[in-house]
Amino acid sequence: MCFSLYHRRWMEQEPFSGVPFYDWLDFGSGKNITPVDYEAHPELRNRGWGIDCPKEKFNDRKLHYLNQEERKQYAVDLTPFKNGELVRVTYQKSGAPIDDDTEVYLFVLSIDGMLYVIPDAHQSIGHSTLIASEPALAAGELLIGKKGRLEDVEFSSGHYRGRVSSFVAMYNWMIDLGLNTSSVDFELRGGWNVTAKSKRDALKSGKKVVFLENNGGGEVFLVEK
């Protein structure tokens, strides 16, 4: 919300400075500007527009990108358990499974195949901060049950965006690890989910279907909900 207010003021400046938005906001004429032109639009002050976005407070809101050393505490492995029937999430540093009261974790799978997680309730760290906004194969949320069991993978990230390619990368990465992917549910932003329905039934439903071959010789497909 705050960014959009300042961006509008940047767009409406006369004459237009031509200075890039973030340079204008941090170093240019936007450095000491109010989020709304209250002199021109006093009615907006009465509506409360921008009252939570003063520049002094806004400037203090900073994201801390984790460096290589800091992100080690959030690195995890996916390992088989229950004779390979299920998938467990364990911390790389200690080898202990994630087993606490937190069920939903943000995750990022980096391009070098490292998986990082953080409790969803952690307000100061997000998907982009976990790996310093570097490119990622996939990102979203993990639903982790008792004894660290991985129950669900949801590809919902505002920064990295959930796409079919995200699912393909994550799914094949898990297959390469020898994990039983059939024990895990996968969900994609936009109403897609992985289903065990047959190709014939999926097509008969009249819903959009994307078919993917997996490394195990079987077939995985996404069906629009």
Q: Which pLDDT tens digit goes with each residue over 49-59? A: 677 777 776 66
Taking the complete model, does pTM exceed 0.85, yes or no? no
Are both 134 and 199 inside the same structural domain?
Answer: yes
Residue 65 lies in a domain: no
pLDDT tier at 23 (50, 70, 90 boundaries)? confident
**pLDDT number for residue 193:** 55
**pLDDT number for residue 150:** 94
Are both 145 and 80 inside the same structural domain?
Answer: yes
**pLDDT number for residue 201:** 57
Closest by CA to 162, choosing from 88, 89, 222, is 222
Q: Which pLDDT tens digit goes with each residue over 126-172? A: 788 888 878 899 999 999 999 999 998 988 877 777 777 888 888 88
Are both 32 and 94 inside the same structural domain?
Answer: no
Residue 91 lies in a domain: yes
Are both 100 and 166 inside the same structural domain?
Answer: yes
Residue 218 lies in a domain: yes
Residue 206, pLDDT > 80, answer no
Helix (H, G, I), strand (E, B) or coil at 174: helix
Residue 145 lies in a domain: yes
Are both 122 and 214 inside the same structural domain?
Answer: yes
Are both 19 and 116 inside the same structural domain?
Answer: no
Residue 214 lies in a domain: yes
Q: Name every residue whose Cβ is closer than 8 Å to that of residue 105 and which is 6 or more positions away in sequence.
A: 89, 98, 117, 118, 119, 120, 141, 142, 144
Helix (H, G, I), strand (E, B) or coil at 155: strand
Are both 39 and 106 inside the same structural domain?
Answer: no
Are both 39 and 95 inside the same structural domain?
Answer: no
Beta bridge partners of 117: 107
- Which amino acid appears at position 179 of this protein? L
Mean of the pLDDT values across residues 102-110?
90
> What percent of the chain is modeled with pLDDT above 90?
28
CA distance 196 to 193: 10
**pLDDT number for residue 43:** 74
Average pLDDT over all residues of the chain: 78
Peptide bond into 119 cis (omega under 30): no
| Number of domains comprising the chain | 2
pLDDT tier at 16 (50, 70, 90 boundaries)? confident
Are both 74 and 128 inside the same structural domain?
Answer: yes
Helix (H, G, I), strand (E, B) or coil at 224: strand
Are both 144 and 191 inside the same structural domain?
Answer: yes
Quick one: residue 51, left, alpha or beta (phi over 0 = left, psi -120 to 50 = alpha)?
alpha
Residue 64 lies in a domain: no
Q: What is the residue range of 53's domain?
A: 2-59
Contact in structure between 187 and 155 (CB atoms under 8 Å): yes
Cα torsion at 113, 114, 118, 124 (round to 10°)?
Answer: -100
Are both 84 and 141 inside the same structural domain?
Answer: yes
Peptide bond into 15 cis (omega under 30): yes
Q: Name every residue whose Cβ is closer than 8 Å to that of residue 57 and which is 6 or more positions away in sequence.
A: none
Among the residue ranges 60-64, 108-112, 154-158, 193-197, the one predicted with the least confidence is 193-197
